[in-house]
Amino acid sequence: MKKHWLITLFLMFFLIYFCNYIIATNQTDTLSIEDYYAMSLEELMDIEVISASKIMQKQSDAPNIITVIPQNKINHFGSLSINEVLYYQPGFHPSYDYERRTIGFRGMFEGWNNNHYLMLIDGIPYNDNLYGTAYTWEITPLIFTKSLEIIRGAGGALYGSNAINGVITLNTNNADDFDEFGIARFRREFQNSQIYDFALGDENKKFGMVLSFSYYETDGNEYESYDDSSRIDVNGELIKTKIFDQRSNSYLFAKIYGKDKLEGLSFQFHEQHWSFRTGHGWLFKIPDQPENMKEHRRIFAFKYINDNNKLFNWETAIRYQKHGIDWNMRYNIDGGSDKLFFYPRGLSEYLKTDAQDIWARLQCDINLNNHRIITGIEGDIFLYNGDQEHTSNLEMNNWNTSPDTFFTTYNLDPWFEYIDGKPIKNVAIYMQFVSPKFFNKFQVTLSGRYDHMFFTYDSNLNNDTTQLKDKSYSMFTPRAALVFSLNQDLSLKAIFGQAFRTPEPTEMFGSNTYTLASNIEEVEPEKSTNFDIELNWTINNNINFKLNGYWVNFENIIAYSTANANLSTNIFSQETAGFEAEIQIAYNNLTGFLNYSFAKRLNENITDTTIAVSKNTVTWAPASTFNMGLYYNYRDFYTTILFHYQGKVERRESDYYIGMEQYRPRTLDAWINMDVKLAYKITPKIEFGLQVKNLTNKERFIVKNYAYPFDYRLEPRSVLLDLLFRF
């Protein structure tokens, strides 16, 4: 794959600066590795968080189940993405759909587009505007991140749509977070991957600036697999075909922020590009011709916080997003067929289009004798104005082409013809009350948010006349949390909350395409109701223990429904309970964590008659997981170990068909994974690391839901070289 030209620019700049720096460096510098990496348990627990209640709080006081991961911990374990951080957190587990690595949560399978997380960058939402997805895999780098805040469970009372399974906050670096001027990191996998990260920062008395660039390229996980194309050998058996998983991405991040009298002012720019292959194919038929799948996002964000007043403070923010796609898709092979047609030269579609949205927020914070009242209003406008190109060898406007015309290329009508030129609007108001600590023991947080989405669409696409209809979705989401500090070492949290996810444009408005099967007339918002109780016990200066019990009722989960013409439909409602136990340790040069999660299905309702109900068994996801991470340093060396156990995964009865057992097992076996990293600090500014992923080279699988003859095989063992410069 062709390298991005910005790599050369950044590399030249870095080499010039680094050579000058080496000449000028005082060789008596005695800065030790502990100054960079050592962090006591008390320091870890005292890292303040803001995403739980929009005010700075200790983790133990926050009205959510929350974890904070500082940048040095991300570096220790060599995490390449938010996914890799979350896979080792309580409640989360690896999931997979199509070509995408996703994040399951509390016994729930997570699909390609039904991403139920809200991602914030410095408090501003950054989910994409087409699918509502939080970009948690490697296309969002971590080089510009100072820390990650991870909320488990409902976050709708403050943040609105998408915050069902959690809220993930990236707090970005300022210039003074770098050692001196910046950081450069080069990682190369022996087999097929390379990652380049650069970040620079500088500031004066009035302004500061941070600039970073990341590039990632990989051949991915290529292997032979069955698919759903019904390709057979001379003996009538299904044949395996090679999976193509090449991926690449680049990310440019720039931030300017004010100081002194301009404190609280910031401007950000994000330019993101990525490309991928579809793995088993978008219709689970491994493509027989190359695909070219590209996307990009351009985001501008402005924010101002006035927090100099002890009584009244306010914040305003605005964000513009443009999301473009350039997809050359191969759905069916030459001579393939489906329920509609036989395809003598296969089935392909090309789509080049984009959509834009503008989001804004105005928020006030009132402090009355430590009684905090936060109130705000948010608005968002989404706009689609047709496609640059949209073609196929199948006429998808009316779906009435006979097979003998498939050698013609057809111009297709707009991808979102329902709302071409018609905006989607959402307005929301929210309020939160945070009490002082009564008797230095009790703290109460009450939150509520009301969202109203409304739009006009054309309900008469297949006729010459336009018939406009109005539609709206409204949702109120509350939260009530009690934090009880028994003493300085022991606290309890009880949290009730709700969250929702309104149907996204791709679930409502898709038309004239095989990429989507939208359902504007029937689809309704998804909704979850959560109850959590957490015990947080600092046993001594070296050990902290957390135990969280939860109950969640997830209603109206959206998925493609076979019984409903494969349209996006509210299929599932699931009730689940379980617990998450976690131990954090810090003793001299050793720090680490252990956690265990368990989920039990209590009830389930399914509207699709082709899917078997599983009322008391977790399916498509592991019921239990165990994680361990250890970091040990000695002088200029350190080593880390990550261990993940994923319990067995049960299928539904509807996932079987006669003879399936010869292609995949009826139950997916449990598996383990171990990653090891060894690093050496060559100088106070240069670090060299060697990381081995999947050390034991175990064959690991993630379940493919529904009755298909394959599961997703994860990557084999890989070795990664890591060179880190601080300058």
Return the beta strands (E) in 539-661 as ranges.
543-561, 567-587, 590-606, 624-634, 637-646, 649-650
H or E element: which one contains 349? Answer: strand 347-368
The residue assigned the tokens 């984009």 is 354
With vertex at residue 329, the alpha carbon angle to CA 325 and CA 335, rounded to the nearest 5 degrees, is 170
Q: What is the pLDDT of residues 87-109, one digit of tens each?
A: 999 999 999 998 899 999 999 99
Pairing of strands 65-70, 490-501: unpaired
Its sign, for the CA torsion 613, 614, 616, 618, is negative
Q: Could you give all domains of the chain from N- to C-terminal order, each with its CATH number?
A: 5-726 (2.40.170.20)
Tokens standing for residue 707 = 């009755």
Report the mean per-residue pLDDT for the chain. 90
Q: What is the pLDDT of residues 176-186, one digit of tens each?
A: 999 889 999 99
Q: Are residues 623 and 104 in contact, defined by beta-carbon separation less than 8 angstroms?
A: no
Transcribe 263-275 into DSSP letters: TTEEEEEEEEEEE
Contacts of 653-660 with C-beta under 8 Å, sequence gap 24+, read 653/612, 654/610, 654/611, 654/612, 654/706, 654/707, 655/612, 655/705, 655/706, 655/707, 656/707, 657/707, 660/707, 660/709
pLDDT tens digits for 255-303?
A: 999 999 899 999 999 999 999 999 999 899 999 988 989 999 999 999 9
Give the C-alpha separation, 598 to 626, whole Å: 9
Separation of alpha carbons 599 and 356, rounded Å = 39
* pTM of the predicted structure, to 2 decimals: 0.92
Three-class DSSP category at 699: coil
What does the pLDDT read at residue 15?
45
| CA dist., res. 531 & res. 272, Å (int) | 37
Give the pLDDT confidence score for residue 1 in this predicted structure: 43
Q: What DSSP designation does 217 have? A: E
Low-confidence ranges of the chain (pLDDT < 70): 1-46, 114, 402-405, 463
What is the spatial distance between Cα 257 and Cα 146, in angstroms, rounded to a whole number?
15
pLDDT value at position 564? 84
Classify each residue of 247-278 as buried b or exposed e, where b means 16 or more C-beta atoms within 10 Å of its C-beta.
Answer: bbbbbbbebebbbeeeebbbebebebbbbbbb
pLDDT of residue 658: 81
CA pair distance 674, 679, nearest whole angstrom: 17
